[in-house]
A = this chain, B = another copy of it.
Amino acid sequence: MAVTAPIRHIEGGLTAPRGWQAGVAVCGVKAFTAGASALGDEQREDLTVLYSESACDAGGVFTTNRVKSASVIIDQLHLANNRVQALVVCSGNANACTGAQGFKDALQMAKQTADRLDLDPNQVLVGTTGVIGRNLPMDAVKRGIAHACNRLGRDQGELAARAIMTTDTRPKTHAVELEMAGVTVRVGGMAKGSGMIHPNLATMLAFISTDAAVAPGWLKAITKRVADRSFNQVTVDGDSSTNDTFLILANAAAGNEPVEPATPEAELLEGAIVAVARELARSIAQDGEGATKLITVRVTGAADSEQARLAARTVASSSLVKTAVHGGDPNWGRILCALGYSGAELALDRLRLEIAGLPIFSLGAGLDVDLSAVRRAFEGAEIEIHAELGLGSGEAEAWGCDLSAEYVHINADYTT
């Protein structure tokens, strides 16, 4: 599925594609949620409205957690109509484990946004992220929705990416453009980090917009596949938060012929969407809580691509590998150990391991390697670990970050 047509990086994030607007507002959700007596504890933007000038074809994948935020359940309902046109995201409160009130609140968020934008409530999706088990401060949220809708604009992709953050240290956006049959099509996106990312993931939210016209249902068909090659290689199915959400929305503003499944255009557009998704996924890994280094794990020669994905993300999420990388400790046995328990087929005598291009292990035993060179590689800001399993043609990448003492400090004191 190689995409050979040039894909150009452009500015603008989620609002780079035509017909997309965003608006943000300050609600003080986190302060209200934590029970602060007054507004103003935290004056940063925490409510975001995304708006498309026309109804979209949409696809979504959500957390596999059995405990789901009310937002996730509402979104699954609203997506069924496939005429979504807006999204409202509130940062600072997950609206999960909040009982019947939580559902009322999530529906109210959709309804308030729909009223302001002259849409039907089921055309609005809802995202929430933050502390579990507290009710939303709905008065503040309603004021925020009104304010954000009044401030909608086409150049607010970066602001929106900033407003959905929780413990993220920087906004995560990416956008590209490409030519399809003479028409310029754009794909944009933004994400908020998954905090600790793995093993159990503070919420990851990721939204991709495009101005391409697509056949109805096409996005729904590809969303899981895109996630498997991007966000699911940072997070892990079955190991996800109550709120994880990944949406792709296409509004047809580019004026191209609608992209039909299984055509060269479909392959091109999916490639561009995957490119944006992978860049966002890498950004999430790079900005893991307390992270100082990006770890890319590449597995080749696996029995199949599912096993390659499994092996790569197991290594990327091993706490022992993460701490070794953090400490610049060339303890490569931990990488083999993680491959060993990943569940992927393994034949030790066929496995070759390289760290930052340095051969480390081959033919069932460690090579006589200059450990100080490995140590220097571990000290870089980006580390590539490559395991060639020698069994088949399965390939995958996964992204993680080192585990630092700072991670513990952040998470030991999150609600307080």
Contact = CB atoms under 8 A, between A and B. Distances in A.
Interface of A: 64-68, 94, 96-102, 131-134, 196, 199-200, 202, 238-242, 317-320, 323-324, 326-334, 336-341, 343, 345-346, 348, 361, 363-366, 375, 403-405, 407-409, 411-416
B131 A333 contact: yes
A99 B364 contact: yes
A330 B134 CA distance: 12
A369 to B, nearest CB: 10
A94 B320 CA distance: 15
24 contacts: A65-B340, A66-B345, A67-B336, A97-B348, A98-B365, A99-B363, A102-B365, A132-B334, A132-B337, A133-B361, A196-B320, A199-B318, A199-B319, A200-B320, A202-B320, A239-B341, A240-B341, A242-B333, A319-B319, A324-B411, A331-B414, A331-B415, A375-B416, A403-B411
B333 A94 contact: yes
Which of A98, A333, A338, A343: most chain B Cβ within 10 A?
A333
B241 A337 contact: yes
A190 to B, nearest CB: 24
Given A323-B411, A333-B132, A67 B339 contact: yes
A404 B323 CA distance: 13
A253 to B, nearest CB: 38
B67 A340 contact: yes
Given A199-B318, A331-B414, A411-B323, A337 B242 contact: yes
Given A97-B365, A99-B365, A348-B97, A408 B404 contact: yes
A65 B318 CA distance: 14
A339 B238 CA distance: 11
A200 B335 CA distance: 11
Given A323-B407, A331-B414, A405-B405, 8 more contacts: A96-B337, A100-B364, A132-B332, A133-B365, A327-B412, A329-B413, A329-B414, A405-B409
Contacts of A339: 66-67
Contacts of A68: 340
